[in-house]
Amino acid sequence: MSGWINKKRIMHIDMDAFFASIEQRDLPSIKGKPVIVGGIPGSRGVVATCSYEARKSGITSGMPISEAKKRCPKAIFLRTYGKKYLYTAWQLLEIWNRFTPLVEPVSIDEAYLDITGSIGMLGNEEKIALLIKKEIREKLKLTCSIGIAPNKVFAKIASGLQKPDGLTIIKDDEVDKIIFNLPVSKLWGIGKKSEKVLNRLGIKTIGELANTPTKVLKQWFGINGELIQRIAKGEEKNKNIEIIPLDKKEHEKSIGNEHTFPEDTDSIDYIFSELMNLSQKTGKRLREKRLGAKTITLKLRYKGFFTTTHQKSFPNFIYKDEEIFFHSKALFNKIYNKKEKIRLIGISLSSLLSIFDTSGNPSIQKELFFYNSKTERLYPVLDSLKERFGEKIISRGKVLQYAYKNI
Ligand code: DCP
Ligand code: CA
């Protein structure tokens, strides 16, 4: 197999039982005990995660708290504490960024690091992994599992092979022996359904999937057949398989929506209801792309086709529908010439920046606002954290900022 030999060394880091380990760290009396984070019995929540002690009772993420209580009555149940996990995620990013500039966080507790260029400077890859583990253990009192392989797909598989606190290194010439003998279910993107189909075709291992004629896979999976085979080969052709640091992620320059009224209007209620509609549409598109905006522009076209725009910029990023509506309304009030009817109204958001992608937990996803932790970028991060979480996190942020400057 030649597709995966790319001379790159990619590290995947995944924190162990992330939310639960943070809680155990902060409350030593629950260390070594089954801890379930997500809600307390009697609540209708689901398990966000649980400690490895609780996993022995078959508790999994997404399971209703009531079911978890049945399976493990002795467990300690805790509500999620999003801000704390967010802060820890931020501290992790600080650590990772010091080992290579090529860090791509993929969820609240996971990242890919391209360490190819760091190997010469910092020693061999095992040494780098052990240094990262040591730093996380000493500074954050947490453990992680690390996988190192020639590409992202195999590195992610590797980090999962020896959890918790694992380190699995797969050299180029070990891919056949280690990765290709694993079941296809270990592969990113292969769910239970696809696994069943593959098994029925006699394809049980990743190696068998990599070597199946593409034609056969296309027959069963359509265009996805080609994709899953490429993933099985760990090929780098797919752009998604390259490391994309947060500050290099490409996105549009602006996101906007316009509305032409069926009839020209000067009804403020009508105009504002359309403005709300546009705010929701624009906000949704912004959040889908995990972006925040620093500038909003309002466009008005009058009956006689005269068009005017006005914009406002903010020190912090906006991304909520209410924020977009509030600011577009203020712009409207400022520029609307009451003598003429309106033909078209539009909102555009620009100066966009990536909001960090998280675990899929919607409560955190809404709050998590994150990008590359280079020093100059810390200031807007601090501002946005302050706005959302108050002074407390900022005082901790300042400590971190100070620490960062002194590294
Ligand atoms: N999470 C969540 N809801 C889910 C899955 C995860 O809220 N359905 C949160 C809680 C986890 C964190 O995201 O602690 C990271 O998710 P992981 O899948 O990496 O799980 P853990 O880190 O908890 O455990 P593992 O040691 O298996 O990685
Ligand atoms: Ca994890």
pLDDT of residue 27: 96
CA distances (Å), origin 332, targets 274, 300, 328? 12, 8, 6
pLDDT of residue 376: 31
Say yes or no: CB of residue 17 within 6 Å of ligand 1.
yes
Which residue is associated with the tokens 């507790």? 109
pLDDT of residue 90: 78
Q: Would strands 291-302 and 307-318 be described as parallel, antiparallel, or unpaired?
A: antiparallel
Q: Would strands 76-78 and 35-37 be described as parallel, antiparallel, or unpaired?
A: parallel
Give every residue of the chain whose pLDDT is below 70, as ranges. 1-6, 236-242, 244-251, 288, 290, 354-407
Write out the catalytic residue numbers: 110
Out of 12, 15, 18, mutate this one to test ligand 1's pocket (max ligand atoms within 8 Å of CB): namely 18
pLDDT of residue 279: 92
299 C-alpha to ligand 2 centroid (Å):
45
Say yes or no: CB of residue 49 within 6 Å of ligand 1.
yes
Helix/strand/coil for 258: strand
pLDDT of residue 354: 63
In angstroms, the CA 112 to CA 10 distance is: 7
In angstroms, the CA 310 to CA 316 distance is: 19
Q: Is-contact 357 107, C-beta < 8 A?
A: yes
Question: ω before 64 within 30° of 0 (cis)?
Answer: no
Say yes or no: CB of residue 364 within 6 Å of ligand 1.
no
pLDDT of residue 84: 84
- The atom of ligand 1 lying closest to the CA of 358 is 13
Say yes or no: CB of residue 61 within 6 Å of ligand 1.
yes
Note the pTM of the prediction, 2 decimals: 0.68
Q: What is the pLDDT of residues 227-272, one digit of tens each?
A: 899 889 987 545 456 676 665 555 678 999 999 999 999 999 999 9
13 C-alpha to ligand 2 centroid (Å):
8
The packing angle between helices 214-221 and 223-233, to 10°, is 130
Closest alpha carbon to 149 in 241, 1, 243, 11: 11
Buried/exposed 79-101: b ≥16 CB within 10 Å, e otherwise = ebebbebbbbbbbbbbbbbbbbb
